[in-house]
Amino acid sequence: MTGRVERLFLLIFSRALVSFGHLHWCIPCPHLNSVLGRIMAKMTDYTELISEFWPTVMLAWDEHGDKNPIIECDVDTRKVLAMPAKEYLAGLSERTREATQRNFEEISANGGMMVFIRDDRNRILQSYVFMPSEEDS
């Protein structure tokens, strides 16, 4: 795969779809497993860290969710921040800003939240998507 297509798959399949409480990885079709396996191997799995931060993430969401913030969990400082999406997205690289903005708008329209994990030590900024369960609707 070319680097651009591989980055697109990484962007699409790096999202963890979560019903505000239960984590589900979304793998669309079996014939992509080998491609996804190579792409997913490049990712760092922060799901355990997210579960540690989850009570604080939910407090931030409960307090600011009506403003559709982006939630950032900083691995190094162990802080959770709810940030205005417009400013947060403006701080992303030009390469990722447009796709992330489109993704964020779709997620927000469906009541979901976008959580970024910032790991400066390993130079990683990775996003996860959390969607409300059907019972929450």
Dihedral of CA atoms 130, 134, 136, 137 in degrees, nearest 10, equals: 110
Number of domains in the chain: 1
pLDDT per residue as tens, the chain (137 positions): 344 444 444 444 443 333 344 333 343 444 444 444 554 545 678 888 999 999 999 999 999 989 999 999 999 999 999 999 999 999 999 888 999 999 999 999 998 999 999 999 989 999 999 888 765 55
| Cα 127 to Cα 117: distance, rounded to the nearest angstrom | 6
| Cα 61 to Cα 39: distance, rounded to the nearest angstrom | 30
Residue 89 belongs to domain spanning: 3-136
Does the predicted TM-score (pTM) go above 0.85? no
